[in-house]
Amino acid sequence: MPAWLPRAMVLALALYACFRLGSWAFDQLIGLLINVLISFFLALAVEPAVSRMSAGGMRRGFATFLVFLVVLIAGAGFVFLLGSMLAGQIVDMVADFPKYLDSVINWVNQTFHTELSRVQVQDSLLHSDWLQKYVQNSATGVLDVSTTVLGGLFRLLTIFLFSFYFAADGPRLRRALCSVLPPARQAEVLRAWEIAVGKTGGYLYSRGLMALISAVAHYIPLMVLGVPYAPALAIWVGLVSQFIPTIGTYLAGALPMLIAFTVDPWYAVWVLGFVVVYQQFENYVLQPKLTAKTVDIHPAVAFGSVIAGTALMGAVGALIAIPAVATLQAFLGAYVKRYDVTDDPRVHGGRPGVRGEPLWTRLRRLVTAPASSGDPEPEGRRPEDPQEPEGRTGPGA
C-alpha cells in the first residue's frame, strides 16, 4: 500500500463528514437564512427614507424606529379592516343561513316532488357521523392552527428585528464589510450596495404608489354599486394585486367579485369587467411610466425571475425576485462592453435587401407607376431598348 493512500482516505472521509455536517446545518438553518434575506431587502427598501431623515439631523436609530412604526401601523390597519370585513360577512352569512336552507329545500321539493323540511335536515345533519368526525378533527386541529399563528408572529418579529438592525447600523455594516477588502473591491461593494438600495426602494415605492392608485380606482365602482365594505375591498385589491406578482390580480379581484355576487350576480360581472379593463390600463400605461426609472427590466425577464424565485423560495422568492434581478442587471451592465449597432434591416425586423420604407408606400408606388409613365411604348420596341438620336441612320452617321 502506498504511504499516501491512508492519508488520502482519511482526508476524503473528513471532507465527506464536513459536507454532511454542512448540509445538515443548512437544512436546519434555512428558515433563519430566509428571514435574514427578507430582512436585508426590507432594510434596503427603507434605507432612502432613513438616510434622508438622518441627513436632516435626526439620529439614525430613531429615524429607523419611526419608519418601522409607520409600516406597522399601516399593516395593522389593513389587517383590522380586512378582519372586520370578513367577520361581518361571516356573521351575515350565518344569520341568513336559514333563509338559504329554506330556499334550497323548497327548490328540491318542487323539482323532485319530495316533502323535506328544515327540521328534518337539521336533525340529520346534527346526528350524522360526518359532522361528528369533522368537529373532532377541527378540535384536534385548533392546536396546530395556534402553533402556526404563533410561529408566524415569531417570524415577523424576527424579520422586523433584523431589518431594524440592518437599517439602523447600515453604515457600520458597510464599514465592517469594506474593512476586509482591498480598495478596488471596496468601491465595487459600495456601488453594488447603492444600486441595490435604489432598485429595491424604487421598486417597493413604485408598487406602493400603484397600490394606492389601484385602491382609489377600485373604490369608486364598488361604492357606486353599493358593495359592502368597499374601502376594505379596495385596499385589498390594491395591495394584493401589486405585492403578489403574476397571480395577485386574480386573487385580488376574486374577493370583491364574491362579495358583489351576494348583493346581485350582475354586480359581480361589472366588477370583473372593471378589473380586467383596469389591469390592461395598468400594464400598458401606468406601470411602464412608474417603473421605467426604478426597475427598468423587460417584462419577460420579470416574469421569468418571478417563476425562478417561486421555485427556489416560494412566495418570498416571488416577492424579492424582481428587485434582485434588477440590481444584478444594473450592476453587471457596468462591466459589459457595448458597441454601435450596424445599420442592417435585420436588426429592425426587416429582410436583407429591402428598404425600411413602409409597405403602403411601396404598394402605392407600384400602383401609380404605370399611370405616370406617359405615352405607351410603340409596338415592336421593348422598354429596355435605347432611344436612337434623330438624324443618325447608321453606325458611322
What is the number of domains present in the chain? 2
Same domain, 155 and 246: no
Per-residue pLDDT tens over the stretch 138-190: 555 556 666 777 777 888 888 889 988 888 888 888 888 888 888 888 888 88
Q: Is residue 283 part of a domain?
A: yes
- Identify which has the larger pLDDT, 224 or 242: 224
Same domain, 229 and 270: yes
Same domain, 27 and 176: yes
Residue 20 has pLDDT above 90, yes or no: yes
Lowest mean pLDDT among 15-24, 160-169, 194-203: 194-203
Q: Is residue 234 part of a domain?
A: yes
- Mean pLDDT value across the chain: 76
Domain range for 159 is 23-118+150-180
Same domain, 167 and 251: no
Same domain, 170 and 213: no
Same domain, 46 and 172: yes
Q: How confident is the model at residue 17 (pLDDT cuts 50, 70, 90)?
A: very high
Q: How confident is the model at residue 5 (pLDDT cuts 50, 70, 90)?
A: confident
Per-residue pLDDT tens over the stretch 36-89: 888 888 888 888 888 888 888 888 888 889 988 988 888 788 778 777 766 776
Same domain, 157 and 266: no
Same domain, 162 and 222: no
Residue 310 has pLDDT above 50, yes or no: yes
Indicate whether this model's pTM tops 0.85.
Answer: no
Of all residues in the chain, the percent with pLDDT exceeding 70 is 72
Residue 352 has pLDDT above 70, yes or no: no
Of all residues in the chain, the percent with pLDDT exceeding 90 is 5
Last residue of a domain, one of 288, 317, 333: 333
Q: Is residue 385 part of a domain?
A: no
Q: Is residue 255 part of a domain?
A: yes
Last residue of a domain, one of 293, 313, 333: 333
Same domain, 159 and 280: no
Residue 358 has pLDDT above 70, yes or no: no
> Can you say whether residue 57 is alpha, beta or left, with left for phi > 0 and alpha for psi between -120 and 50 degrees?
left
Q: Is residue 263 part of a domain?
A: yes
Q: Is residue 215 part of a domain?
A: yes
Q: Is residue 113 part of a domain?
A: yes
Same domain, 174 and 268: no
Q: Is residue 376 part of a domain?
A: no
Q: How confident is the model at residue 25 (pLDDT cuts 50, 70, 90)?
A: very high
Same domain, 175 and 288: no
Same domain, 227 and 311: yes
